[in-house]
Amino acid sequence: MRSHLFLFALMFSKICVSCQGVNKSDSSNCQKLYKEANNKLNEYYQFADQKKLDTVLSIIDENINACPEYEVKMVNLKVRSLTLLKTYDRGYKFIDSLDEAKFDKSYKKKFYLANFKVMALESAGDSAGIYKQYKKIIHEISEYVAGNPSDKDAIADLFFTKVKIESKPEVLRDLELMRQKNSIDSNFFDGLKTAIFENESVSNAIQK
């Protein structure tokens, strides 16, 4: 569970959220607020103090609409904080409220929604439900990668997801097949292989 939270937080990036009725504040103040929120998140990682995450959410909720140039980064921090707080329902509703057309990749909204569902299902011990969610998102990302074979972020999302429900030999086979077909530097695939199997616990497949 702990490794899943880390991987999901790590994978969440580059969201673009629509903004209505924005009153811009000066850029320097927005930068200061973002840095403050980011520092609080880093302090949470250092001290495991939940109040740090509450502060992150407070800063973001109070200022995100006034700082459109920092909106993407603030949304990133918010989702990471909601994930670490294990407020899965709140996280799901937040992602669900965002316009799908504003995400940087076509599969991203479904990807984040599925991951929040998975974390809730993990808490309930629903292995069958977890497997079903992962299968859906693997299909979504695979279709995207088929049309965007050089997208490193999408490839990483795909294999960090596959390793959750497939055996290590299966994942390694698919990784090598993609390496052979792809023009991306081979070092990328070496690094990805190391990353997804760094923690042995994430390579345990969920049984159907």
Residue 119 neighbours by CB under 8 Å, 6+ apart: 1, 4, 5, 8, 83, 86, 88
The ranges of the chain with pLDDT < 70 are 1-25, 102, 199-208
Residue 155 neighbours by CB under 8 Å, 6+ apart: 145, 178, 184, 188, 192
Domain residue extents for the chain: 1-7+25-86, 97-208
**C-alpha span between 59 and 115 (Å, rounded):** 25
Partner residues linked to 103 by β-bridges: 15
Q: Would the pTM of this model clear 0.85, i.e. be above it?
A: no
Residue 50 neighbours by CB under 8 Å, 6+ apart: 44, 85
**C-alpha span between 68 and 71 (Å, rounded):** 5
pLDDT for res 159: 96
Question: pLDDT tens digits for 1-59?
Answer: 555 555 555 555 444 444 433 445 578 899 999 999 999 999 999 999 999 999 999 99
Contact between 86 and 50 (Cβ < 8 Å): no
CA dihedral sign of residues 137, 141, 146, 147: positive
